[in-house]
Amino acid sequence: MHSLYEIETTIKRSSRAEGLSWGVSEEAGKAVRLLEQSEFQGLESFRRLIDLGLNNLNKLLDVDQSNTRNLCPIHFGIFFLDQSHNKELHRTYNFKNINEPLLIVPFLSKSAKKNLLYFHLKSQDLNFTISPGGIYFINENFFPKNLTDFSLTVSTNRKSKYTQSSWDYLYKLSLDTFVEETEEKKISGAGAGLTDND
């Protein structure tokens, strides 16, 4: 088995050898390292990307760009990593297709944490949400090599995932840690004065 250091360094250098800038290559190395550390097939995914030819892939440079076919996941990921601080970009986007979508996950994950964002990816084949909380379960077997007709929603809104009755039940339970207040305690236990007018 190779160490994570070896994986990161090898991906960084091979990205550079394929013509990416040093800075982008560093990002690619970190992304694949994170995937492999999380036991995803990041290296295999990256290798398939190289086979496609990085220069043949379409870079996402503008959310409103007309051609969103054959997108490069590294540049797609870096786009949202770099741009997501801009609130004007917090909306839903539609894209035609992207290669090796697994590789966008580390970038969205980092951006989610940095900017407290939620990324909801939706398509017929794949749906997932990446949140700033950092706990998400993604089955890599569901990751296609190429994802078609998908949307990405960027949002700061955290959705409530529980019912009101569950909340009410737990809140009532939490009150059991409080002490019932007698009239005497009202006088002696409070730190402030007895009226707010003194």
Partner 1 sequence: MQIDLRKPELVMKLDRLGSFHQSKLSFLRSFIREFKNWEFTTEKFALDKQGFGHIVYVVNNGQKQYSLICFSNHIEDSERSDRVIATKWDASFVLFDGVPTEEDIERLNDNVPLQEQGRVSEKELCLSRANKSVRVFEHVVDKLSKGEQPNTKLLYDVGYLYRTTAVYGSGKFGLADRIKIQNREELKGPFRLEMMLVYLARQFTFDVVNHVAYSRSPNKAVKLKEDIARNLGIGNSTGLGMAPFIVNHPALLNQWIIAKEKALKAIRSISSVSQKDKDIFQSYLSIIRENIKFWKTESDFQKKKNNQLLKDLSIFQKFYSTFPLNKFFWNSIYEWTEANTQSECCEFIISLMMEVYPDIVEPLSFEMSINEDEYFDIDTSRTIKEVCQLIEDQYTWLLDINFDDKENILNFWYYSKNKQEPRMSDRFTEEGSDLELPLAIARDVSALYDDLKSCNLEKDLGYYLLKNQEYRHILRRVLICEKLPYSEIQDNTISKTLIPVDMLRLKLSFFGATRFDPRSDRWVRITMYQGAPLMREISKSDDTWSYKKIA
State the Cα angle at 56 between 34 and 32, rounded to 5°: 5
| Residue 5 CB, nearest approach to partner 1 (Å) | 3
| Residue 44 CB, nearest approach to partner 1 (Å) | 19
90 binding partner 1? (CB under 8 A) = no
Helices 42-52 and 4-17 meet at what angle, rounded to 10?
10
Using CA atoms, how far apart are residues 102 and 86, in angstroms rounded to an integer? 24
| Residue 7 CB, nearest approach to partner 1 (Å) | 9
Query: Do 31 and 42 touch, CB atoms closer than 8 A?
Result: yes
Pairing of strands 127-130, 92-99: unpaired
The binding track of 107-146 with respect to partner 1, each residue x by CB under 8 A or -, is ---x---x--------------------------------
Using CA atoms, how far apart are residues 48 and 54, in angstroms rounded to an integer? 10
Closer of 79 and 143 to partner 1 (Cβ): 79
Residue 13 backbone dihedrals phi, psi, to 5 degrees: -70, -40
Q: Which residues, in sequence order, are CB contacts of 65 under 8 Å at separation 6+?
A: none
| One-letter identity of residue 117 | L
Which parts of 24-43 interact with partner 1 (CB under 8 A)?
A: 24, 26-27, 30
Sole binder of partner 1 in the list 51, 62, 64, 180 (CB under 8 A): 62
166 binding partner 1? (CB under 8 A) = no
Window of 38-46, 77-85, 160-168, 187-195 that interacts with partner 1 by CB under 8 A? 77-85
Binding site for partner 1 (CB under 8 A): 1-6, 20-24, 26-27, 30, 61-62, 78-79, 81-83, 85-86, 110, 114
